[in-house]
Structure 1
Amino acid sequence: MTLLFLFLGLVSLTIVAGALTLFVLYFFRDPDRRADVQEKDVLTPADGRVVGVWNLESGENALGTRAVKVSVFMSLFDVHVNRIPAGGRISRISYRPGAFFAANLDKASEKNEQNAVFLDTRGGSRIVFVQIAGLIARRIACWVGEGDEVQAGQRFGLIRFGSRVDVYLPEGSRVVVQPGHNVKAGKTILGYLP
């Protein structure tokens, strides 16, 4: 009888370990994506669900001017590799430590740990995209540096286990996604620059 319990325990442990391994492999998947984009196209930088689109006044956002903010929440089941929304040059990167509220809440944009990437596009516009850590995600990875020339759809970072990316577009940009839309990083058009 003891051998039977030992055997059942080992089988159970093997099943749990196998399930965890499969989940980690699934979570860190990184599908190859190619998008045919024009100069004014802005791709979504994250897989997930659009949780908000806001028009902001000067001083209320990372651009410092009137802007449109689009927030994408990444659940545990979305791809967490982040991609560059438009081609251009990285002019600044700004990391800020913070709290770890649930990333689907509005206050996550203001309070949570985050990494802001400032991009000067080839067309002369400035876009800011902000990686925001969530309740479980406590690690933001950014693989680009200031001065780097980047392409739309290029991988630039990763946020682990449920997080958010906010994108700030200049006033006059036309956003084509709405709250509730499911989007794919480097594939879905988020909007168009002025």
Structure 2
Amino acid sequence: MIHKEGKLFLIYTIILLLLIIILIFIFLPKKICIAISFLSLIIYSFLIFFFRNPKIKTNFSNEIKKRNFVVSPADGKILMIEKVFENEYLKKKCIKISIFISPFNVHVNRYPVSGQIIYSKYYPGKHLIAWLKKSSFKNEHTTVVIKTENKNKILLRQIAGFIARRIVCYAKEKFIVKKRDDLGFIKFGSRVDIFIPINSKILIKKGEKVIGGITDISILPK
């Protein structure tokens, strides 16, 4: 399944590639044309792979049992797990979990919990390498805060990386959202930081690979 953020892009790209291939077959030698056509096919196949949006199957009974579980908001690798003071909105000490999304990971970002959006803001910024600590606040990013039914507040930050040049975020204040639904999309390599209550139970470790909407990363206090 292709994510909606990629559908128009893929249509425009295939039209452009076909026009280029037609022109080169008119003006260039056959061997060069075949090589360029093969390269175009590889590039287009990667773009389809990049914009993939795997469906996530959920079990209703498990959802009830795991109501306080936080799922990973993104596919990728756990860069760090640390206690920090979150000073943008929560204004208190939290556990921050950082997930690095490589160009080969699924780039859909998902809501890690169900609840109400109480804060959503976009910040323009730099495009430093995503695994640097300072990229969390210096890079282009969005910040979203979700309040769960147990009044826990979860802050999520989408961070553009060195290659990424566009962040898409669907979160709007006062919206009610469901765990695993699409939060947004970051194009071509990036990072997601999630801030959870300090007394949450952590279920993952640094260096572990996680799958967005599937891997349980923590349990919230009741």
TM range (shorter): over 0.9
Q: Aligned Cα RMSD in Å?
A: 1.5
| Post-superposition CA distance 1:109-159 (Å, at most 9, x none) | 121110001100112100000000000101000122111111111111000
Greater relative contact order (Cα 8 A, min sep 6): structure 1 or 2?
1
Please say if 1:85 is aligned against 2:125: no
Match of 1:16 in 2: 39
Please say if 1:25 is aligned against 2:48: yes
SS in 2 for 1:57: strand
Aligned sequence identity (%) = 34
Inter-partner Cα distance in structure 1 for 2:158 and 2:149: 22
Structure 2: give runs of 5+ residues left out of the alignment.
1-25
Inter-partner Cα distance in structure 1 for 2:111 and 2:131: 21
SS in 2 for 1:110: helix
Q: Contact 1:48–1:75 (CA<8 Å) still a contact in 2?
A: yes
The alignment's TM-score, normalised by the length of structure 2, stands at: 0.82
Please say if 1:55 is aligned against 2:83: yes
Q: Which amino acid aligns with 2:183?
A: F
Judging changes above 3 Å, is the alpha-carbon distance between structure 1 residues 32 and 58 closer, same or farther for their aligned structure 2 residues? closer
Match of 2:172 in 1: 145
Match of 1:133 in 2: 160
Please say if 1:72 is aligned against 2:99: yes
Structure 1 residue 66: deviation in Å?
A: 1.3
Structure 1 residue 44: deviation in Å?
A: 0.6
Number of residue pairs matched by the alignment: 190
The alignment's TM-score, normalised by the length of structure 1, stands at: 0.94
Greater fraction helix: 2
Please say if 1:122 is aligned against 2:145: no
